């Protein structure tokens, strides 16, 4: 009898505990399961997005390696899709740089400029934005848009200061501002003194001195 009473007390205690905490336990378990499922779903989505972006990037690279107007259209189409659907993917920033270089080499300066302007404005990849600015300044130089080109070279990051100074010298020389170009190139040589590129800049300086 005492045993039955003890068992009944335990059952009553368990029933009371469940009435108080049961619903909370069920909710907590549901939240945990939902969180795990959500995390796995997010990981799958991220992997799926990365795989798709990589596919468009590879298609863009393939088109860039082929000549012809059809390839030009494929380059622009792949880049457009990357920018529209995968803007923050690392593949997109690199794909836009590939597209810009290919279009510039093919003489489509407006197309190259549009690619680089997007990359600079989006600024999704902090490591590549300075390179995009440098290349954009080069495209604008080819288009003789000197003021716009110089504007891209303001406030250079330390790691690009020498290259920015070199490009600034190119623009100033194209404008006939030889003294200012000499100053920019001299700065570039100093900043790039441990880089083989400094030898190329020095040749420009020597040519300017003999002009």
Of the candidates 208, 122, 201, the residue with the CA atom closest to the CA atom of residue 161: 201
Looking at the structure, tell me whether residues 111 and 99 fall in a common domain: yes
pTM for the model stands at 0.74
Last residue of a domain, one of 99, 130, 150: 150
- Digit-by-digit pLDDT tens for the chain (211 residues) are 445 666 666 666 677 766 776 677 677 666 666 555 555 654 544 555 667 888 888 888 888 888 878 888 899 999 899 988 888 888 899 999 999 999 999 999 999 999 999 999 988 888 899 999 999 999 999 999 999 999 999 999 999 999 999 999 999 999 999 999 999 999 999 999 888 888 988 988 888 876 5
Of the candidates 171, 191, 189, the residue with the CA atom closest to the CA atom of residue 180: 171
Q: CA 16, 17, 18: angle at the middle one, nearest 5?
A: 90
Looking at the structure, tell me whether residues 141 and 39 fall in a common domain: yes
- Domain containing 191: what range? 153-211
Looking at the structure, tell me whether residues 118 and 28 fall in a common domain: yes
Last residue of a domain, one of 150, 177, 197: 150
DSSP secondary structure code for residue 159 in this structure: G
């Amino acid at each position: 009898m005492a045993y039955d009473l003890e068992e009944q007390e335990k059952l009553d205690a368990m029933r009371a505990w469940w009435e108080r905490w049961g619903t909370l336990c069920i909710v907590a378990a549901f939240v945990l399961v939902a969180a795990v499922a959500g995390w796995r779903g997010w990981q799958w989505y991220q992997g799926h997005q990365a795989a798709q972006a990589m596919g468009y990037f590879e298609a863009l690279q393939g088109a860039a390696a082929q000549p012809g107007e059809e390839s030009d259209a494929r380059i622009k189409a792949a880049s457009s899709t990357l920018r529209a659907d995968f803007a923050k993917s690392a593949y997109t920033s690199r794909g836009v740089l590939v597209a810009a270089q290919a279009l510039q080499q093919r003489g489509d300066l407006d197309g190259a400029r549009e690619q680089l302007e997007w990359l600079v404005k989006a600024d999704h990849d902090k490591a590549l934005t300075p390179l995009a600015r440098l290349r954009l300044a080069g495209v604008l130089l080819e288009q003789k848009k000197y003021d716009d080109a110089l504007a891209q070279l303001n406030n250079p990051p330390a790691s690009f200061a020498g290259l920015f100074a070199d490009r600034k010298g190119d623009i100033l020389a194209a404008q006939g501002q030889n003294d200012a170009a000499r100053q920019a190139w001299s700065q570039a040589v100093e900043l790039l003194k441990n880089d083989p590129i400094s030898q190329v800049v020095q040749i420009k300086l020597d040519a300017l001195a003999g002009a």
